[in-house]
Amino acid sequence: QVQLVESGGGLVQPGGSLRLSCAASGRLFAINAMGWYRQAPGEQRDLVASITRDGTTNYGDSVKGRFTISRDNAWNTLFLQMNSLKPEDTAVYYCTALETNVIYWGQGTQVTVSS
């Protein structure tokens, strides 16, 4: 089992920045990749960014150039630096951890971009 706890969400004005964190515990040695998904009301849950054990990153098209995913080497903490935030970035953001055949989800943290 892997436990994930997100933090860092909140209300921010358009153009502002936020940094999300995800504290991971449990079978960290079994994790192959971690990532962030988001879900806005009435929308599907979409990939925001992911990072593999060797450091390869992948971003959703809508956040490329604005968001940066990073992690510590022990998979203890995952980060998402979000810059130049837009109202359409408003969503619940979920941290995920992927083993070979299992994906774990955090409880989510709300990000609201509004003036």
3-state secondary structure the chain: CEEEEEECCEEECCCCCEEEEEEEEECHHHCCEEEEEEECCCCCCEEEEEEECCCCEEECHHHCCCEEEEECCCCCEEEEEECCCCHHHCEEEEEEEECCCCEEECCCEEEEECC
pLDDT for 74: 82
pLDDT for 75: 83
pLDDT for 18: 98
pLDDT for 38: 98
Residue 73 in this model has a pLDDT that exceeds 80: no
Q: 45-67 pLDDT, tens per residue?
A: 999 999 999 999 999 999 999 99
